[in-house]
Amino acid sequence: MKRTKVCKVFAMGFILPLTCLLVFFQPANASPSKPKSVKVAFIGDISGPYAAITGPTYYGMTDALEYVNKELNGIDGVKMEGVVKDDGGRVAVGVSHYMEVREMKPRPVMVYIIVSALGEALRERLAEDKIVAMSVTGTPAIYPAKYTFGWFPLYCDLFGAFIDWLKETWKETRAPRVAFLTWDSTYGRGPVTP
């Protein structure tokens, strides 16, 4: 897939949720006039243990912001500014970054959280601060619904979809055996959430 197409795909996955959330969740101090730019924060693991899978998300976000700002002239003329914070996969560092981000003037319109445990740790704080977040989907981070939304299916739904697929496509007469090895962490326990 060419880089431009990847940027467009990521931009649509990035911009559509943002636009929908901005329509439904207007901050209490929202100004009636259109700002020159809005901030979108990214708090994730760029250098730690999850970097191999979350690091590319950072590059996708920066490419998408560049595409939206240069090719589409922003969203309705409003440019988007990325604020990137590397938590190295450590929840305490991510929480500290969030506390810094929430004090920015103006606040970011959305926070992208790229580590499941951080999404879970910030869930109540985001609701209290009324800051919308998109998070990787560890179930405790998004249910019951508040201000954090998943940006792909829940881990347990993905695992369930695999089991459904296996059941539907299994051709042998013997029953399949499935081994499930995982980390003892929010991310690792996500697929076996009831």
Residue 10: pLDDT band by 50, 70, 90 thresholds? low
Q: How far apart are CA 152 and CA 150, in angstroms?
A: 6
pLDDT by residue (tens digit) across 96-133?
Answer: 999 999 999 989 989 988 887 888 899 899 999 999 99
Q: How far apart are CA 86 and CA 131, in angstroms?
A: 19
Kindly state the percentage of the chain with pLDDT values over 70: 81
pLDDT by residue (tens digit) across 62-74?
Answer: 898 999 999 999 9
Helix (H, G, I), strand (E, B) or coil at 81: strand
Task: Check: pTM over 0.85? Answer yes or no.
Answer: no
Residue 27: pLDDT band by 50, 70, 90 thresholds? low
Residue 168: pLDDT band by 50, 70, 90 thresholds? very high
Specify whether the CB–CB gap between 141 and 155 falls below 8 A: no
